[in-house]
């Protein structure tokens, strides 16, 4: 389905990227224990929404479903709820707790014009009903396909409190080599690295502060370690796709290394004393590195070596590699797992069920529209469809490694990278780098707290923030968000970097649109003259459309904003130059043709801006007096005359003085 041939050629009408017949867009699910901070919206949801809106215009809104929802289950929510109840900060059930946060999250997304078809919640309403069923069916299918195994592991137990500890009730240091996470939990650190609980360094119970002991528990695990070859082939495949970021393939590839252990060189003598107790291994000792590496053939051999090293008091860190992917646990607050064999009354671990939650939300949305819930397969299981999942870089392991392998494992026939039509297709992952806050990585659970997304709207309009975040280039690398009202180092005379892109709309584009309307009202009785734009105008517009389309296909949103900036500023220059000349010489024909030309720029810019700044552009369409087909890319190269259907003049909605299509936030006027 992907068109790889166009990428080395210049865009033209005969050389354009291909898009699917149907599409699902997902945004990473926020945990149900908090409100949304700016990173949720500015790092993921704005990008997902922009692409969803673009695809609705590009392939038809009835062919696009945009879903996400609150991630209600799991230890982060259970622990937050416990702590708030204990502190007297919340009174109610855990379901009440997640509902309160879900409603807050939904309001914030609405305030940012995030156009989700469904923002569900994995534990609430109809979405929860479908999610429970989907979870049961997928786990049973994995079991029937022979892809699950029972593994006995040691789980942390707080002897003082007399309870097993869930994942977030244990905090220690991440054992994965090179990890800089400031918080590591039972089997996952805050940067998404996975490890066996016994590998966690210096664990402490968050309930009592005591060092917990380990007790054996049995759970179902997905055989992720069997998928090294398939994932290696998958990485090579997505490397060739022009719309998959290098960040995705590189990060997945990092988890395909053989099982290794890293030990500081100063502990070499200690290692020498116990090395004969370890399974056969090789050693790598590069001169410039502070650690030496011991390499094993199997994960089991590495894990047994970890036990020997731990018993010998030798500090070590494990490398990134594939480990069995846990599917179940014994936390009470979770989706009920199917009872299989002798394992009863388990719940599904939060990460696997959150990976297939978008399927549940798709089903719930279709049902809400009176459609057959079986239609979800038209979006998730057809080679003519595509699922685009917008995530942060920390979650590539789950979506790129675990999900890819599980989706392959769900096939009814031979398991290969090339999933046949009718089976659950692989997703296209769109992963952003970190959006920093004042040059620091901010986290709700860290020392540097990010501003809440809702609070930013006290200083900026939603469209100003949308335009700014899209321009940052998060697909290329981590970028800092520097809002002046939150920056203690900012001086009163400093410009606010957040408003630059928004001012393109509220100043330049707004001025062009208003000028066209006021000119039509003054000289043409409030009607737009209809005619053929100059060849240069048509050529400019076609070039902008084709460049924009290619950048959208590749998710290069910062490049999209550059195309729009250049195109809109050119229309402003043409207006200023030609209308000055027309007024000076009282040249009515020049005035008329300039109006035809610049209205063509206004029309094209509105369509291209529609996914980025939907409120202002919808107002433009309303005042122009056209229908919804104005946005359709079936008509993208058409000018105003196409929509006027034989008219020589087209009546416009009257524009009152000082009415703006794109505005600044009131606080920005107060500063002037």
Give pLDDT, residue 198. 76
Give pLDDT, residue 449. 80
CA distance linking residue 26 with residue 79, whole number of Å: 27
Q: What is the pLDDT of residues 317-357, one digit of tens each?
A: 888 899 999 999 988 899 999 999 999 999 999 999 999 99
Structure tokens at 641: 């005359």
The alpha carbon of residue 189 and the mean position of all alpha carbons in its chain are separated, in whole angstroms, by 20
Helix, strand, coil proportions of the chain in percent (round to 5)? 50, 15, 35
Residue stretches of the chain with pLDDT short of 70? 1-8, 192, 194, 443-447, 670-672
Give pLDDT, residue 1. 41
Sheet holding 260-264, edge to edge: 281-284, 291-296, 260-264, 317-318
Give pLDDT, residue 109. 98
Give pLDDT, residue 445. 60
The alpha carbon of residue 622 and the mean position of all alpha carbons in its chain are separated, in whole angstroms, by 31
User: Considering the entire predicted model, what is its pTM?
Assistant: 0.92
Structure tokens at 147: 């892809």
SS (H, E, C) 415-470: CCCCCCCCCCCCCEEEEECCEEECCECCCCCCCCCCCEHHHHCCCCCHHHHHHHHH
Give pLDDT, residue 672. 39
Structure tokens at 221: 């695990």
The beta strands (E) that lie in 330-427 are given as 347-348, 385-392
Q: Catalogue the long-range contacts made by 550-556 (C-beta closer than 8 Å, 24 or more residues apart).
A: 550/6, 550/11, 550/16, 550/17, 552/51, 552/54, 552/58, 553/17, 553/19, 553/242, 553/243, 554/17, 554/242, 554/243, 555/47, 555/51, 555/243, 555/245, 555/430, 555/475, 556/475
Instruction: Name the 3-class secondary structure at 413.
Output: coil
Which of 394, 419, 383 is CA-nearest to residue 404? 419
Residue 190 neighbours by CB under 8 Å, 6+ apart:
181, 182, 183, 184, 394, 443, 445, 446
The residues facing 343 across adjacent strands are 340
């Amino acid at each position: 389905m992907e068109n790889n041939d166009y990428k080395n050629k210049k865009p033209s009408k005969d050389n354009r990227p291909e898009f699917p017949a149907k599409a699902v867009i997902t945004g990473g699910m926020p945990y149900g224990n908090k409100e949304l901070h700016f990173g949720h919206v500015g790092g993921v949801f704005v990008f997902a929404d922009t692409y969803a809106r673009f695809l609705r215009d590009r392939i038809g809104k009835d062919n696009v479903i945009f879903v996400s929802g609150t991630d209600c289950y799991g230890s982060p929510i259970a622990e937050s709820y416990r702590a708030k109840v204990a502190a007297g900060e919340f009174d109610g059930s855990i379901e009440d707790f997640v509902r309160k946060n879900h409603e807050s999250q939904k309001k914030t997304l609405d305030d940012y014009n995030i156009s989700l078809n469904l923002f569900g919640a994995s534990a609430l309403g109809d979405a929860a009903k479908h999610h429970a069923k989907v979870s049961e069916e997928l786990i049973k299918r994995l079991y029937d396909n022979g892809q699950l195994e029972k593994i006995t592991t040691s789980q942390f137990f707080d002897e003082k409190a007399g309870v097993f500890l869930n994942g977030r009730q244990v905090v220690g240091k991440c054992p994965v080599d090179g990890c800089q996470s400031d918080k590591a939990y039972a089997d996952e650190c805050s940067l998404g690295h996975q490890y066996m609980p016994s590998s966690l360094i210096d664990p402490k119970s968050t309930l009592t502060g005591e060092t917990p002991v380990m007790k054996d528990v049995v759970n179902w695990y997905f055989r992720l370690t069997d998928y090294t070859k398939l994932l290696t082939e998958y990485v090579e495949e997505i490397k060739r796709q022009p719309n998959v970021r290098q960040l995705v393939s590189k990060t997945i590839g990092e988890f395909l290394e053989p099982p290794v252990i890293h030990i500081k060189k100063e502990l070499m003598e200690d290692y020498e004393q116990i090395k004969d107790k370890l399974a056969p291994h090789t050693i790598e000792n590069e001169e410039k590195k502070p650690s030496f590496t011991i390499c094993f053939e199997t994960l089991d051999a590495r894990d047994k070596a970890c036990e020997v090293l731990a018993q010998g008091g030798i500090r070590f860190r494990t490398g990134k590699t594939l480990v069995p992917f846990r599917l179940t646990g014994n936390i009470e607050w979770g989706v009920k797992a199917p009872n299989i064999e002798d394992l009863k009354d388990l719940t599904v671990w939060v990460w696997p069920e959150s990976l297939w939650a978008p399927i549940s939300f798709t089903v719930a949305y279709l049902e809400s529209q009176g459609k057959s819930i079986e239609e979800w397969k038209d979006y998730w299981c057809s080679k003519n469809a595509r699922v685009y999942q917008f995530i942060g870089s920390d979650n590539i392991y789950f979506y790129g490694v675990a999900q890819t392998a599980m989706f392959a494992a769900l096939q009814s026939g031979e398991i290969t990278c090339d999933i046949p039509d009718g089976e659950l297709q692989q997703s296209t992952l769109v992963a952003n780098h970190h959006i920093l806050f004042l040059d620091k990585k901010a986290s709700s659970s860290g020392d540097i707290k990010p501003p809440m997304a809702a609070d930013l709207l006290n200083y900026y309009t939603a469209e100003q923030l949308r335009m700014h975040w899209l321009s940052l280039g998060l697909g290329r690398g981590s970028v800092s968000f520097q809002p002046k009202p939150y920056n203690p180092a900012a001086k009163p005379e400093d410009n606010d970097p957040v408003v630059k892109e928004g001012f393109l709309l509220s100043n330049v584009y707004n001025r062009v649109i208003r000028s066209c309307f006021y000119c039509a009202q003054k000289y043409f009785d409030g009607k737009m003259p209809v005619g053929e734009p100059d060849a240069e105008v048509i050529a400019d517009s076609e070039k902008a459309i084709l460049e924009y389309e290619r950048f959208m296909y590749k998710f290069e949103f910062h490049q999209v904003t550059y195309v729009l900036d250049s195109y809109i500023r050119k229309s402003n220059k043409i207006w200023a130059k030609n209308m000055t000349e027309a007024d000076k010489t009282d040249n009515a024909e020049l005035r008329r043709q300039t109006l035809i030309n610049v209205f063509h720029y206004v029309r094209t810019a509105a369509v291209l801006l529609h996914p980025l700044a939907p409120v202002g552009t919808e107002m433009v369409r309303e005042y122009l007096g056209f229908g919804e087909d104005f946005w359709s890319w079936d008509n993208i190269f058409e000018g105003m005359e196409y929509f006027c259907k034989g008219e020589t003049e087209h009546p416009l909605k009257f524009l009152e003085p000082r009415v703006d299509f794109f505005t600044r936030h009131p606080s920005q006027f107060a500063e002037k």
